[in-house]
Amino acid sequence: MTERETLEFDVVFVGAGPANLSGALHLARLVKQHNETAAADKIGDIEIAVIEKGASVGAHILSGAVMDPKALRELIPDFEAQGAPLESPVNEDFFLYLTPKHAIRSPITPPPLKNHGYYIVSLNRLTGWLGEKCEEAGVNIFPEFPGADLLYDDADRVLGVRTGDKGIDKEGKRKPNYEPGVDLLAKVTVLGEGPRGSLTKKLVERLGLDEGREPQVYSVGVKELWELPDDRYPTGRVTHTLGFPSDAQTYGGGWIYGMQNRVLNLGYVTGLDYKDPLIDPHAEFQLFKTHPYIAKLLEGGKMIRYGAKTIAAGGYFAMPRTYADGVLLTGDCAGFLNSQRLKGIHSAIKSGMLAAETIFEALLARDFSAKQLQSYERRVNSSWIIPELRKVRNFHTGFRHGRWLGLVNTGLQFFTGGRAWGIFDRDRAHAGHAEMQKLSAYGYRGDKLEQRYTDLRFDGKLTFNKVTDVYHAAVGHDEDQPVHLHVLDTNICSTRCAEEYGNPCQRFCPAAVYEMVEDGGNGKRRLQINFSNCVHCKTCDIMDPYQIINWVTPEGGGGPDYKGL
């Protein structure tokens, strides 16, 4: 029996993303203000903790990102004057349709992609700054503390979180530096783990928080930062693209943002409900860069950073219940992102603030039950979050019938206020991984990528293979620890999956973690998991056609270091 230290807090936030940092900061201020002004019934000092699996706040935070500042302004009205790390206000919006050879600029920017008044930000830097604000307000921040399990009582009330053990070797044995994880007890635990949170996934399953909701669908964004030799792309220009290289059946699009100091931030989003089993989101992005317009933009430049992250794109219909006894969900792990606008930072911040107001009320009432915390849902419903999400509630499902119907549907919804009169109901009934077709449906023989990406070469100048890109994500994991990608039945990999889908994990993982290798020279192959490459994007947990990959938190501090991304 392992002896564990127990630490008691009033509130523990799991994940130092924009939602939870905003929530922790807002709560600390609400309590302070109350204690200073209330004549009676003071709450007293409360202990707030934020735990983060990365080596520092922001290390695992990756986003485009153009931020709608309305929520940050509610949290910190003078954030500009206070020195929030903003790359640039958006000065210009471009929307391009890419054919294989040409870039056609739309005379009008679609309203959801108009970004005037917004800011280009590095979300890594912004969360670092919010972390400092939290510490100034007295919040305890614990980096290198991954949430490994939620703690429950016999009535399934959440009592807190157990952090991961340190110092376990790859065989599961204790090393000399072994330290057991700590039990952090809290009146309320707030999960803000980002898309497909590992604790959130288990909580939702255990308590049935997704009952009556549609399955969540996701996209994955793959991005690089480039240093340009001159001012060819102005700081503050935002370009979004549609078309090349996605086929018309696959949801996808690109972005190019002008950052400071001639740094270009570009990336490509691929819907994780694609049909072709040979699709590789990293290859889609590399192909995107070979488009004559993009290649010219990058000529003479140097790739300096790489990252990948999933996005919860299902929206309004796919949001789970966001409260239960002793627990709340914030930000992307609750599905607050507006996929039509490609924006979720504003709603993440707002959800954190609303969670803080809910907890503040619960502290006053000394009641942390689901009945009390239900007021979080009411707050979210009456804030600007839900009206914004309701207007685009059928956006993503429209694209399940291909790009053109998706665009028609998007246009129509401006007039219908988001209604689709049940046209897409059938499409919402299954998760994205179920869309993947077998190799035979496409006439493919085996898993050779060249069958789809006939023109793609990795030249090391414009296009890079996954291993080179991963090097630029500054990923680090101690190699002597248990593998954190749990494949529940590896027999499937060398038999059914090889035959039916050609082991798509080798392609949908943007970090070359999964590899089918020769096994004993008799023509058989087995799965090798290069877990130290993992950039924690969660694509494998989402897109595996048999749903047998379970991503769990590795030892604290491991993973990418998304400095400046």
Q: Which residues bind ligand SF4 (CB under 6 A)?
A: 485, 509-511, 513, 534-540, 551
| CA distance linking residue 170 with residue 466, whole number of Å | 25
Closest distance to ligand SF4 from the beta carbon of 504 (Å): 11
Pick 136 or 489: Cβ nearer ligand SF4: 489
Closest distance to ligand SF4 from the beta carbon of 475 (Å): 9
Sequence letter at residue 333 = C
| CA distance linking residue 430 with residue 285, whole number of Å | 26
Closest distance to ligand SF4 from the beta carbon of 562 (Å): 13
Closest distance to ligand SF4 from the beta carbon of 186 (Å): 27
CA 548 to chain centroid, in Å, comes to 20
- Residues 438/447, Cβ–Cβ less than 8 Å: no
Pick 284 or 427: Cβ nearer ligand SF4: 284
- Residues 556/145, Cβ–Cβ less than 8 Å: yes
Closest distance to ligand SF4 from the beta carbon of 540 (Å): 3
Closest distance to ligand SF4 from the beta carbon of 249 (Å): 22
- Residues 144/157, Cβ–Cβ less than 8 Å: no
- SS3 track for 194-250: CCCCHHHHHHHHHHCCCCCCCCCCEEEEEEEEEECCCCCCCCCEEEEEEECCCCCCC
Pick 331 or 510: Cβ nearer ligand SF4: 510
Residues 6+ apart with CB under 8 A from 216: 196, 210, 312, 314, 318, 320, 335, 431
Pick 222 or 225: Cβ nearer ligand SF4: 222
| CA distance linking residue 383 with residue 109, whole number of Å | 27
How many Å is the maximal CA-CA distance in the chain?
A: 80
Pick 242 or 511: Cβ nearer ligand SF4: 511
In degrees rounded to 5, what are phi and psi of residue 10?
-85, -45
Pick 341 or 536: Cβ nearer ligand SF4: 536
For residue 349, CA distances in Å to 24, 126, 432, 549 come to 11, 12, 27, 30
Cβ–Cβ contacts within 10 Å for residue 36, how many? Answer: 8
In degrees rounded to 5, what are phi and psi of residue 541?
-60, -35
Pick 324 or 509: Cβ nearer ligand SF4: 509
- Residues 326/152, Cβ–Cβ less than 8 Å: no
Pick 242 or 529: Cβ nearer ligand SF4: 529
Closest distance to ligand SF4 from the beta carbon of 220 (Å): 8
Closest distance to ligand SF4 from the beta carbon of 552 (Å): 11
Pick 342 or 537: Cβ nearer ligand SF4: 537
Closest distance to ligand SF4 from the beta carbon of 130 (Å): 25
Closest distance to ligand SF4 from the beta carbon of 362 (Å): 34
CA 154 to chain centroid, in Å, comes to 32
Closest distance to ligand SF4 from the beta carbon of 98 (Å): 26
Nearest Cα residue to 348 out of 43, 121, 114: 121
Cβ–Cβ contacts within 10 Å for residue 173, how many? Answer: 10
Pick 125 or 538: Cβ nearer ligand SF4: 538
Pick 349 or 513: Cβ nearer ligand SF4: 513
